[in-house]
């Protein structure tokens, strides 16, 4: 079986073809212009990861939510667990863009960081 992927490691966006056997083992990777494409294909097949953009509740803020995202990709298989965890969080205003909201979220090695500023309610 051949799986088609687009490498997102740089703006070129190489079209990758990944040949797999019946058990899902990678036999061959083609279409990458550099080694990063091969790494991307291996991760995407064995442990796909994504940056998670999300909103977090704010207490006493001029807005009820602050946008945030993980500072590195987190495993897709842990995404639901991470979202459920973040839904229960509440940060206290003021929150500044770049503030660390959660360090090493659920042991993924990724931090959750605010991507905008929410001032305290006046």
Which residue ranges make up the site for ligand SF4 (CB under 6 A)?
A: 7, 9-10, 12-14, 32-34, 36-37, 40
Structural tokens at position 4:
């088609």
Q: How far is CA 18 from CA 4, 7, 9, 15, in A?
A: 6, 12, 16, 10
Would you say how long the chain is, in residues? 122
CA 38 to chain centre: 19
Gap between the Cα atoms of 118 and 28, Å rounded:
48
Closer by beta carbon to ligand SF4, 37 or else 61 = 37
Least Å distance between CB 30 and ligand SF4?
11
Least Å distance between CB 31 and ligand SF4?
8
Closer by beta carbon to ligand SF4, 8 or else 100 = 8
Closer by beta carbon to ligand SF4, 13 or else 98 = 13
Least Å distance between CB 20 and ligand SF4?
19
């Amino acid at each position: 079986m051949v799986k088609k992927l687009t490498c997102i490691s740089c703006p070129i966006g190489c079209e990758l073809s990944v040949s797999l056997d019946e058990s899902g083992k990678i036999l061959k990777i083609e279409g990458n212009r550099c080694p990063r494409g091969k790494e991307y294909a291996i991760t995407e097949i064995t442990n796909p990861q994504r940056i998670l953009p999300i909103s977090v509740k704010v207490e006493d803020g001029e807005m009820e939510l602050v946008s945030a995202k993980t500072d590195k990709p987190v495993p897709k298989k842990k995404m639901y667990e991470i979202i459920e965890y973040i839904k229960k969080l509440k940060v206290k205003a003021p929150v500044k863009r770049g503030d660390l909201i959660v360090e090493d979220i659920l042991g993924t090695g990724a931090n959750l960081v605010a991507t905008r500023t929410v001032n305290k309610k006046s």
